[in-house]
Amino acid sequence: MINDEAYDPHAIIDKWMKVWDELRVSEAHGLTGGHEDEPRSYVVSMFPYPSGDLHMGHAEVYSISDAIARYIRMQGGNVLNAIGWDSFGLPAENAALKRNLDPRDWTYANIETQAESFRRLGVSFDWRTRFHTSDPEYYRWNQWLFLRLFEAGLAYRKEAAVNWCPNDQTVLANEQVIGGHCERCGTAVVQRPLTQWFFKVVGHAQRMLDDMAQLEGKWPNEVLAIQRNWIGRSSGAHIDFKIADRDEPVRVFTTRPDTLFGAVFFVVAVDSPLADELCTADQREAFDAYRQQVAMATEIERLATDRPKTGVFIGRYASNPINGEPLPVYAADYVLAHYGTGAIMAVPAHDQRDLDFARAFDLPIRVVIDSGQPDPAATGEATDGDGRLVNSGDFNGLTISEGSEAITTRLESNGVGAAAVTYRWRDWLISRQRYWGTPIPIVHCQSCGLVPVPDDQLPVELPKSGYQLRPEGGKSPLESAEEWVSVACPRCGEPARRDTDTMDTFVDSSWYFLRYPNPNFTDGPFDPAGVQRWLPVDEYIGGREHSTGHLMYARWLTKALHDLGMLSFTEPFTKLTNQGQVIMNGKAMSKTLGNLVNLQEQISLFGPDAVRVTMVFAGPPEDDIDWADVSPTGAVKWLGRVWRLSGELPTQVEGTADVALRRNVHRLLADTTAAMEARRLNVAIARLMELTNVLRRAVDGQPGAANPAAREGAEALVQMLSCFAPFTAEEAWQRLGHEPSVCVAAWPKADPQLLVEDTATCIVQINGKVRDRLEVPADVSEDALRELVLNADKVRAALGEGGVDRVIVRAPKLVNIVPAR
């Protein structure tokens, strides 16, 4: 027996890291083929951004994903638990500016720090997958993919607004704009137009929705709901309105074609080119003044939905295609230029916004749906209830849905409209006016236009010198790298200039999981054999905050690559688990707010295993963990208990295995396994703690430490523990007399025969309230149990004189008696 030393969670780290490396316990079998008999499982956590050392949030994600990976591995799965770094991005530039160094140095130094911390946390990555998105060998393929999308018409350029800080003379990312002001200097941010690159994602909107059927039940409902919301599908009709003295009609989108007869005016977005074009000379002055006024409005004013409606008549009339009625055209800011067509038909009776406008401008209000609700003109409340069409010519009497269909059909046959669907989701703006990202592989040539850099000239590497991170006049940093920018046109050979934008880092993270199986592949972005072997990702783990960004883009790119014949599947992540945040006293931790709890400090206090156990035991993975509410001390105590227990069991067992103890062990084993399968990791740990308690009692009392059942239980406990606390489990496994590593042991299996109980506790209820408990044979018949229960003393006493109305018997677990009256 080993007894007298104390459990030291720190002393065991280096020892086992070495053993694991030597045994290569974390490596998948056959990265690009082979071992097909072993069920493969591809586990990926959203890869880290190297902002410094690992923090509490990282520890949480990887504690969860590593427990899952280790569990599947012990169940005989061939697991690829991958790791890489999302190493392009703005913080590297900020750090470089502040400390006057190369973004590379900062980035790669942080990566090394994080890699070492991962090792010391005992995360079982297959390090052969490792790459960093800022490696030229990686972003080369980012560029290659960009060119394929460009060829397919999925990458295009158009003008869009960027956040501009007039003081710093620089473009700001959205997260650098706080309340409409520059994060660094506090100056009010303005919008500035710039021609930028987009990926055409909206064309896939319907498939993004449809393919969610594949994810239902495997992704958190919440994420699917957020994405549906974000895509914002609405269906209705396009309707063309003729405008007096203009050849082309103006198209509007409406979800309510049934209310077409209620249209009494027409509105175009004040900031749209159309408004400018339609405005007559008479109204020019008023229009310009209004447009000016709207442009001056701050972001906060613009976002307030309850401010009074404003607008201006622009002198023209539109003609209602259903009845030729003339409708005055207004410019207003409540109509958005970028949604639908930037113009609407206004139906004040049945749309609150239009009604507010109509009342402000004293325009008529015509009810065309009789919903039985009070008159909108009187109440100021537009009616949106169900009802029948009125004031609608031939269509009177139809229901809303009949009316919509009939009117749409009529418009269609007259060539002035059609059923239509629009989406709120916008095309993906991928241009960034930044240095530390993937250069866009396009050359601008005066005679040839946009010329793709030929594949064999990739990668277009970032210049290592001769650039400024924040050049004068707000140019892109790459624009300042004069030597780098000047290039011969690949097509005509004349002097030309490189594109100076870099790609959004979400491009990098939209396909990294495809490259992990063969990160050194040189014939394409990913090795088809490796993709065939491992993709799609079986277990994807990461934060909910990526619902509308990363996850959308990764899903989209997968579909685009599928369409290009490069992938056989359409969804990249079969199963998604969200983990919550680690907070402290109710406050989130972040770079700006400061890390209230330091991971390395926690590790040095409690050891890596206890930190991991605390993370996982705190609650369901998706819930936030308030570090003030949890107890790493408790985790250390438990691990110490397991460690001591493992040293108290003699290698020589005596006697026959105690059946009662074995039953207990196997029941807890089965319960733990079920919890692991359901990914209810906090419950699995609770069951392991119970098992620890059971074994402690068995060792201290009956049947004693030498009984084979005690050893059997301890071995199972330690094997299962290795998913959560690998260092401690190894040490305990060794103390139990095993080598070389618990990581190569299998997950223990519960013996089904031991799970069958001879007797059961029957709950006796009267009127649903528990009145007694009886030990009964597990196979007791319903009739026998009914007799048994009705004759029990407590039941007779409780029932007294009155008879019994009915008896519900659920043998052997429960009997519920309903007394007469």
Partner RNA sequence: GCCCGGGUGGUGGAAUGGCAGACACGGCCGCCUUAAAAGCGGCUGCCGCAAGGCAUGCGGGUUCGAUCCCCGCCCCGGGCACCA
CB of 795 within 8 A of CB of 764? yes
As measured in angstroms, the least distance from the Cβ of 813 to RNA is 5
As measured in angstroms, the least distance from the Cβ of 402 to RNA is 18
As measured in angstroms, the least distance from the Cβ of 8 to RNA is 12
- Please give the sequence-ordered ranges of beta strands (E in DSSP) within 283-385, or none if there are none: 311-319, 326-332, 343-346, 369-370
Least Cα distance to 334 among 306, 359, 314 occurs for 306
Q: CB nearer to RNA: give 99 or 587.
A: 587
**Three-class SS of residue 53?**
coil
- 400 DSSP assignment: H
Tokens of 544: 């909910």
As measured in angstroms, the least distance from the Cβ of 31 to RNA is 36
As measured in angstroms, the least distance from the Cβ of 547 to RNA is 7
Looking at the DSSP bridge assignments, the partners of residue 486 are: 497
Sign of CA pseudo-dihedral 542, 548, 550, 551: positive
Q: CB nearer to RNA: give 335 or 514.
A: 335
**Three-class SS of residue 226?**
helix
CB of 61 within 8 A of CB of 69? no
Q: CB nearer to RNA: give 319 or 692.
A: 692
As measured in angstroms, the least distance from the Cβ of 465 to RNA is 40
Q: Which helix (H) or strand (E) holds 378?
A: helix 376-379
Q: Which amino acid, residue 221?
A: N
Q: CB nearer to RNA: give 425 or 747.
A: 425
Burial 696-715 (b: 16+ CB within 10 A, else e): bebbeeebebebbbbbbbbb
The CB density around residue 636, as the number of other CB atoms within 10 Å, is 21
Q: CB nearer to RNA: give 349 or 443.
A: 349
As measured in angstroms, the least distance from the Cβ of 376 to RNA is 15
As measured in angstroms, the least distance from the Cβ of 514 to RNA is 27
Q: CB nearer to RNA: give 287 or 435.
A: 287
As measured in angstroms, the least distance from the Cβ of 681 to RNA is 9
Cα 721 to Cα 689: distance, rounded to the nearest angstrom: 10
As measured in angstroms, the least distance from the Cβ of 272 to RNA is 9
Cα 377 to Cα 296: distance, rounded to the nearest angstrom: 32
Q: Please classify residue 61 by burial: count the beta carbons closer than 10 Å to its beta carbon, then call 0-12 exposed, 13-18 middle and 19+ buried.
A: buried
Q: What is the dihedral of CA 535, 536, 538, 544, to 10 degrees?
A: 130
As measured in angstroms, the least distance from the Cβ of 360 to RNA is 11
Which residue bears the tokens 């316990």?
25
Least Cα distance to 328 among 318, 320, 336 occurs for 318
Q: CB nearer to RNA: give 127 or 230.
A: 230
Q: Omega of the bond prior to 495 within 30 degrees of 0, cis?
A: no
Q: CB nearer to RNA: give 147 or 811.
A: 811
Q: CB nearer to RNA: give 15 or 637.
A: 637
Looking at the DSSP bridge assignments, the partners of residue 313 are: 330
Q: CB nearer to RNA: give 398 or 814.
A: 814
Least Cα distance to 352 among 387, 379, 319, 325 occurs for 379
Q: CB nearer to RNA: give 529 or 814.
A: 814
